[in-house]
Amino acid sequence: MPENPAPATGFARDYAEVSDIRALQPERIAERSRARRRREQLLPADGRLMIIAADHPARGANGVGARPMAMASRTELLDRLRVALADPGVDGLLGSADIIEDLTLMGALEGKVVLGSMNRGGLQGASFELDDRFTGYDAQAIADANLDGGKFLTRIALDDPGTLPTLTASADAISELAARRLIAMIEPFWSRREGGKVVHDLTADGVIKSVNVAQALGRTTAYTWLKVPVVDDMERVVEATTLPTVLLGGDPTTSPEETFATWRKALALPSVRGLTVGRTLLYPPDDDVAGAVRTAASLVH
């Protein structure tokens, strides 16, 4: 990987200083968050967003491809994120509070769109995985932290009673974010259990059903965005909604060339507003984070 960009003046110089601030001056986190320079407009001139996602470890999901603990090192993950965020084609970050605060202290999120991850209670592989409690940001905390919105995972499984409280909490989050004029980015899946493992229906019909349920949640949908997987017959999926939609990357299962080609085709569809991708770009097979991010950003913008 290329070297990290130099930190902005007045921000933490390295991870040791971040740790010192957390131990000795924790109030600086809120101060720096309030002072973070935000964009005047959420969307750039072309109306599309390139967002880097980094909330996977908070749900116990550290794996990338065949590497089950690829995301285990926090400093390595932050290094990779700083490289990605330095690309001018990257509009922002989606992350859990711990990651967002580290990057805020280091000045990596100035002028970026930042979305806080809200429900990380559905730990990967847990018996309660589909009862996905809101254990991260709530709407007021997102407003207090000077963020642009919140994101949450909403898996809909007809065979699991944990779906109902997750739907209820998701609806409340949409309403509370909208009351503050903040984006609610919902990531829905039509899910089921197979052999004790949660799997998603990644057919067009499955994604359409998840979209239909998700886009009706809340007292208003004025600030609701969708985050959906790229599947076969994506044209039908996009026709199922008028809401702004971004494509998610997921855990890579194909070659980078095949993945980029799939994204390029889906990005050409109406109402698709960009990409929200994490592991595919942060942990590419050749470890060239800057190169992978540059290619993805060129597809979006």
Question: What per-residue confidence (pLDDT) applies to 6?
Answer: 42
Whether 301 contacts 286, CB under 8 Å = no
In angstroms, the CA 193 to CA 103 distance is 36
In angstroms, the CA 176 to CA 170 distance is 10
The answer to whether residue 34 is domain-embedded is yes
Residue with tokens 């200083």: 17
How crowded is residue 127: how many other Cβ atoms within 10 Å of its Cβ? 10
Question: What per-residue confidence (pLDDT) applies to 293?
Answer: 97
Q: How confident is the model at residue 221 (pLDDT cuts 50, 70, 90)?
A: very high
The answer to whether residue 136 is domain-embedded is yes
Which tens digit of pLDDT belongs to each residue from 161-204?
999 999 999 999 999 999 999 999 999 999 999 998 999 999 99
Q: Looking at this protein, which amino acid is placed at residue 120?
A: R
- Please provide the DSSP assignment of 169-213 as one string: HHHHHHHHHHHTT-EEEEEEEEEEEETTEEEE--SHHHHHHHHHH
The answer to whether residue 9 is domain-embedded is no
Which tens digit of pLDDT belongs to each residue from 69-109?
999 999 999 999 999 999 999 999 999 999 999 999 999 99
- In degrees, rounded to 5, the angle at the alpha carbon of residue 66 between the alpha carbons of residues 63 and 67 is 45
The answer to whether residue 169 is domain-embedded is yes
The answer to whether residue 182 is domain-embedded is yes
* Number of structural domains the chain divides into: 1
The answer to whether residue 221 is domain-embedded is yes
In angstroms, the CA 152 to CA 90 distance is 21
The answer to whether residue 138 is domain-embedded is yes
The DSSP 8-state label assigned to residue 81 in this structure reads H
Mean per-residue pLDDT over the chain, rounded: 94
Q: How confident is the model at residue 7 (pLDDT cuts 50, 70, 90)?
A: very low
Enclosing H/E stretch for 294: helix 289-300
* Residues 6 or more apart whose Cβ sits within 8 Å of residue 155: 122, 130, 132, 163, 166, 188, 189, 191, 198, 200
Nearest to 126 by CA among 135, 118, 137: 135
Q: Residue 134's domain is classified under what CATH number?
A: 3.20.20.70
Question: What per-residue confidence (pLDDT) applies to 102?
Answer: 98
Burial of 195 (0-12, 13-18, 19+ CB in 10 A): exposed
Whether 268 contacts 233, CB under 8 Å = no
Determine the structural domain holding residue 248 and report its residue range: 15-300
pTM of this prediction? 0.94
Q: How confident is the model at residue 249 (pLDDT cuts 50, 70, 90)?
A: confident
The answer to whether residue 5 is domain-embedded is no
